[in-house]
Amino acid sequence: MSRIFRALLHLYPQGYRNLLGAEMQAVFDRGARESRDLGPVAYVHFLLTELVGLVSGAVRARLAGPPITAEPVAGGLPEEVLEAQNRVAMNLNRLLYAISHHQFVEARRYSDEERTARLELRRVMEKYGLA
C-alpha cells in the first residue's frame, strides 16, 4: 500500500509534493502499521479513509493553485485544466468505489482510465506552465 500511496501523491502539484510529500508518506506508513495491528476491519477502514482523503486533498490542492507566495495565475485556472482535474477525480472515485465493492475487473478498467486522465492532466498543466 505504501507504493500505491506514493503513486497517488503524484496527483498533487509538484511544489506541494516537494514540500510535504516525504512527510505525508511517513505519516501514512506509520498509520498503516498501527491500523494493521488492530485487525483487518480497522486496516481496510484506514485505507479507504486515506484514499478518499488523499484524492480529495489532491483535487483541492490543484484547485487552490500554488502557494500565495507564488505568482498567481491570471483569471484562475484555465477551463481545460479544470476539466482534466474533474476527469481525474471522477475516475479515482469510480476506482475507489469498485475496490471497496470488490469489483476488481471494473477496478482494473478504471485504473487504466485514471492513468490516462492523469497523463492528460499533466499535459494540459504543462501546456499552461502549471506543472
Partner 1 sequence: MGPLTEPVLLILMSLADQPRHGYALIKDIEVLSGHRVRLSTGTLYGALRRLLDDGWIQRFEQDDTSRDKQAYRLTGEGRRQLEVEIERLKQLARAGSARLRMKEA
Binding site for partner 1 (CB under 8 A): 16, 19-20, 23-24, 26-28, 30-31, 49-50, 52-58, 60-61, 64, 67-69
Convert 15-79 into a string of H (helix), E (strand) and C (coil): HHHHHHHHHHHHHHHHHHHHHHHCCHHHHHHHHHHHHHHHHHHHHHHHHHCCCCCCCCCCCCCCH
Judged by CB, which is closer to partner 1: 31, or 78? 31
Provide the minimum distance between the beta carbon of 105 and partner 1 in the complex, in angstroms, as a whole number. 27
Provide the minimum distance between the beta carbon of 125 and partner 1 in the complex, in angstroms, as a whole number. 18
Judged by CB, which is closer to partner 1: 57, or 109? 57
Judged by CB, which is closer to partner 1: 57, or 78? 57
Residue 85, exposed/middle/buried by CB under 10 A (0-12, 13-18, 19+)? buried
Judged by CB, which is closer to partner 1: 28, or 110? 28
Provide the minimum distance between the beta carbon of 25 and partner 1 in the complex, in angstroms, as a whole number. 9
Cell of 113: 482510465
C-alpha distance from residue 130 to each of 38, 68, 113, 125 (Å): 42, 14, 22, 5
Provide the minimum distance between the beta carbon of 101 and partner 1 in the complex, in angstroms, as a whole number. 20
